[in-house]
Amino acid sequence: MKKILLMIFFLACTKTFAMSCPSNGTIIDTGYSEAQVLQLCGQPVSINAYKATTNLSEELIYYKNIHGSNIKITMLFSYGHLANINTLDAASNQVCQLTNQSANSVSASCASREQNVSLSNVCGQIIQVGYGIGYINSICGNPASQKVLSSVTDEMKEFTYTGPGPTVLVVKNGKLVDWKY
């Protein structure tokens, strides 16, 4: 009995994200091809075609003076979310005492220190992996450098229909992906 109820529940839930054509109420689902949508829903009142670029990975570089030391902060973002924080302390204004092979003490510039971290307060507030790029910019300010490392451009179409409920069907790269009012 439990198995039958579970199967009924599963089958009932499989179409919970189905949509209906705004023009005639025919049930459609995400993943349908553009041709299938046009065949089932008919011709839209208007079609808005455009390209949408999504940045897959970005690099932001900041320079901060922390306790008299110039710190380079490189932040890598994946799909708009912080994936890594790299800090490099060049230690250019610090002098370290070293011992040479003759056991003499010698003053020299300190070696740079580099760290990869997932949590930091280099911008004055805690930032951590997972935070969005907009939020990071609001805390750290504008970066000294910002590069898009990889991106993808999608062909988008919005089919506008007349009718009740959601009237715009969104097609991405030839497949139905969403609807909106």
pLDDT, tens digit, 9 for 90 and up, residues 58-82: 999 999 888 778 889 999 999 999 9
Residue 61 domain flag: yes
Classify the phi-psi angles of 7: left when phi > 0, otherwise alpha if psi is within -120 to 50, otherwise beta: alpha
Give the domain range for residue 116: 55-150
Whether residues 97 and 124 fall in one domain: yes
CA distances from 20 to 100, 149, 180 (A): 79, 39, 12
Q: Could you read off the pLDDT of 138-154 as tens digits, one per residue?
A: 999 999 999 999 999 99
Domain assignment present for residue 1? The answer is no
Does residue 100 sit in the same domain as residue 60? yes
Provide the CB-side half-sphere exposure for 153 (13 A, CA). 3
Q: How confident is the model at residue 112 (pLDDT cuts 50, 70, 90)?
A: low
Do both 36 and 118 map to the same domain? no
Query: Strand ranges (DSSP E) for the chain?
Result: 19-20, 27-28, 46-66, 69-78, 81-89, 95-99, 105-109, 113-117, 119-120, 127-128, 145-160, 168-172, 175-180
**Mean pLDDT over the full length of the chain:** 83
pLDDT band at 49 (very low <50, low <70, confident <90, very high): very high
pLDDT band at 5 (very low <50, low <70, confident <90, very high): very low
**Cβ-based neighbours of 152, under 8 Å, separated by 6 or more:** 53, 54, 56
Asked if the model's pLDDT at residue 50 lies above 80, the reply is: yes
Confidence of residue 11 (pLDDT cuts 50, 70, 90): very low
In a domain, 25, yes or no: yes
Q: Are residues 69 and 141 in the same domain?
A: yes
CA 134 – CA 114 distance, rounded (Å) = 25
| Closest of 35, 43, 75, 34 to residue 57, by C-alpha | 75
In a domain, 50, yes or no: no
Distance CA 45, CA 155 (A): 20
* C-beta of residue 68 within 8 angstroms of C-beta of residue 93: yes
Regarding whether 103 and 69 lie in a shared domain, the answer is yes
Contact between 103 and 138 (Cβ < 8 Å): no
The neighbour count for residue 147, using CB atoms within 10 Å, is: 10
Threshold 0.85, pTM exceeds: no
